[in-house]
Structure 1
Amino acid sequence: MMDPRTSAQDVMRCDLCETAVVQMHCDTCLVNLCTACVGKHMISDQSINHKVVTIQTRKSTLLYPVCTSHAKEQCEMYCKQCDIPVCLSCLASKHHLGHELSKIVQVVGEKKDMITKERNELNDTIYPIYKDIASDVQNRMSQLQKEYGDLSTAITKHGEDWHREIDKLVKKLKAEVDEMKNTQLQTLQKHLDEINKTMSDIKEEIDSMETAIDTNDLSKLLNVSSNVHTYGYLPHKIIPPLPKFIPRKMHQEELSKMFGALSSSSLTSDEHGYSMKTTQKSPEAGSSPPVKQLLDEPKTVTTIHTGYTNYLDNVACLSDEEIWTRGNDNTMKLFSINQGSLLKSIRIKSGNEPSSIVVTKSGDLVYTDFYDRTVNIVKNEKIEEVIRLQKWRPKGVCSTSSGDLLVIMDYKKQSKVVRYSGSTEKQTIQFDDKGKPIYTVDTRYITENRNLDICVSDDGAKAVVVVNQAGKLRFRYTGHTPAPKNEPFSPRGITTDSQTHILTADEYNHCVHIIDQDGQFLRYIDCGLSVPYGLCIDTNDNMFVAQLLKKQVKKITYLK
């Protein structure tokens, strides 16, 4: 008869007697026990605070860290100033008098959230990109094989036109081709091995993080560290150049020179060849900047006076040192951020007020002319017409990561967003899946998020309207209660930052709303704002707010 203790279908057995079925579990010692062995285990080491629970609820007891200063005392608090767990004896010793203390459970919760977020970033973003890079290298190796094969064929064909006396030279050149090919393939194989090794390390770290998340041993959890930022620096892109075969006319003299020669070949490495946008399988597969947390108290860094007479309603970052503005006249002004001084003024051709301004990735200023029905670009202080509409009138405009322009336009109480590549219309976003208009006619501010969502502030609908890259409605954000001034949500300027946060100015509540990429409210920013309108973000995630009636631009920092 089969021994039940060794049967593949045997139930769990007590770790002490090794015969009885497990019914209890010591969360402190991680030991499985039967009922009869519980007492024996409890007195085996009376210095330990044994936490015996039913087997069904094992790992439910939190294991607090043991104090390094007071033996066998558990630490249930955490000193943020000293960055260490502390026990009651530590607190009584007055070494932490006046320090900021938190329950260690709260600190562990924050730690677990951080680890979970970084685990997700490794698993969902960075590892898939490395996988794509590995596939790219393998494809290059396959293409390299094909191209070198074509090269060998070309040399052979040219050699067949020559006299038998040059066969040795043909073989010599083909040998050189094989040597170059093998050298480059070996280099790429080494590169691929390194990438696969990094992918394995990332996978191992993901597994380690998942283990840490599931553990109830807080000491182990607190000791978990991550290399996610290290892995975020992607490997250089190796681009093997293909040598060219240069045939020459056949002569009897100097056959070795006249037959032809291979161009020199050496591998190059492009550190900017890969980016975090290697794949766009999901919004998370975009670039992955360092994670930044919201400041507890946003701060005003500087205030710039623009000199417009009636109002200021648009601001656009040219760089981290300069901003463009537009107000109540036909002049767009460029200001130094640090000095607050006016650097340049440009008057638009028609003499109308520009409806909206934006700076492209290449640093050119684009503006819309509502009454002239045009979209224009300023290059070297010369204005060029890019788009001219017939019936529709352009309002808001933004420049996308791909270099396209997104233009909000309206006509007879209708509004839509149109994507242009140069002056060519590529996409129109106007109706949802049920054929209903997505936007009202009171829509003017628009931006693109890092996940390629298109975000619009629709004042007529009192909402921020977000659609995906294909134009499918994702969500509408209609404000948050309570509002700072208890006024209805009135969205104006809109922008996004490196964390895919969406920021929109709320005119009547004199603040800026920050929501995440899925429309969840995160916080308000006021910093003494008065009628905020236009918004933009620089490369360091500083926010610039155009205050309508004060005609001032405030630079505000809100991320750590």
Structure 2
Amino acid sequence: MALSKPVVPDTVQNEPVIGQHYLVCGSEGCEKNCLFYCNPCHRQMCEQCRDEHQKSPDTKKHEVVPYRQRKRQLPVEKCKDHPTKDIDMICEDCHVPVCSKCVIQDHQKHTLNDLETIYSEKFTLCLDEIYKIHQYFLPTSHDIQEDIKDNFKEIKATIDKIRTSIKAKAESLKRLVDTVASDEIEQVNKMEESLKEKLKSQDKTYQDYISYLEDLVREFHGYLSSTKVQSNPLILSQPYQMKIKPIPKTIIPVPPVFNAGQYSKEDVSKLLGRVTAPDTKPENRKIKPMKTASTQLKPTEQQRKQDREKSDVKRTLSLCSSFTKVREYTVPGVGNVWHISLGKAGRLWASEDIGNFVKTDLQGNQLQKIQTDGVYGYHTVTQDGDLIYTDRKNKVINTITLNNTITEFNKTVDWEPISIHSSHINGDILVGTIKNGEAKVTRYNKKGKEIQNIQRDNKGQGLYSDPRYITENINGDICTSDINKHAVVVVNKSGQHRFSYTGQGSMFNPYGICTDLLGHILVCSGPRLSVFLIPGNNSTVTLLDQHGQFLFLILTARQGVGFYRSLCVDDENNLHVGQHNTNTVKVYKYLQ
């Protein structure tokens, strides 16, 4: 049976997450994964225990639902008028929570409703609102703030051009235009200050709105954490009280225009030209609707076809109820499989830790071998099918084209390039680099032009220490394995820190990382190189959702694989896992 979604404890989506363990069946002695929930019994159960529960004469009529569709259990609270009775109903006429004795005494002809149902509905609504804030309102507001920053730059560039034009005219008119030029420049400066003030005001508007959203999240969290039913705003609140204020509308300022004139001694002011207010009517800033909040380039017909095909696959894909090995193969020409990348037409590139690259088919048949000076052999395959790899020793990124020509993609100057990934969304190249104890992730376009640097969070703290492996998720998130921080660090496409996953309690040493069509994050973890010879192997492959929630350990030492170091998901949604202590790659089915 295919699982609709693995079960993890409830947390608010998109919040920074420290890893959590999956739920287990609530039956005594059963340690299988919890998949279902009995609403009357408030009991979590696995598939087998669910079947037994529904066969029992005493419980066969119970409502058993998938765990995520369960009713939240109402916090136990005794009635203040009848201390032996629990409050479990709400009087719709009096709008107060009541117990069964209250009903008999004072509310017999009133409209009553199940308090647990209302509590569960409001609880879910609150989670949904928090999710929307984090998923849409906050990111969209941050995007608008980024637009405002761009407006600052555009205004500055335009004003600079106007200043240059004024100075050029003034130079040609010599001393006759000095006074007029000075007056005009002063006017320009006033306009610039006015535009800046408008932009500062807009920026503050959105900062205030973001603060309001953050306060609203805390308020909703307070609702969730309250254990007092009678005074809990979550239950007593009206729908309009939980409605989120819309994102403020602002206009994009339009810079002034310099209208150059003809000059003569008699009419210096006219000839110099004047800076005037723009005739163009300011436009309202575009606020993306919630359903289209994620921005992408306009797709081609081929891309639309591929997206439709992927969408069809995604609708039918789910996690397998058990993970099985499909096959295994050896990669000839390497001593270990330190890193693997999936190429086109079912081709796979594998490399060892001394920089040798081997291309194989998915059965391990060698198709090509290349020797390089690159340390560790971190590489990726571009949208064009070229192999691109980091040369840490020479601080350069190289490309190996389909005809085996090695060309320089980019020099990283003082920074040592280590991890690298080619975006499947837009073809950008993401590179993790280090220098003198600092680390960052740099984004290049296809031509090698640097277009983004991600180094610190919004508090100025360094996001990375040793970004050893890197990948990109379907929503544009950049996911990085940082061995020194013992964490998977995830930022959004704008470089804003989303969360860091740090394992399940024991020392977490992440290595290879990849994502799949459903947005899952898969990451290898295991012992550091310095402890390879110590008995006992705790290597694992962990499955997270795109919000950093722990779902499953797909592979552990029980599967008999050695030290996991690399992994990728092929076009048939099979997981390929490479190891540091052997050149064997094992293939597992985890989606169906």
When normalised by structure 1's length, the TM-score is 0.50
Higher relative contact order (CA 8 A, sep 6+): 2
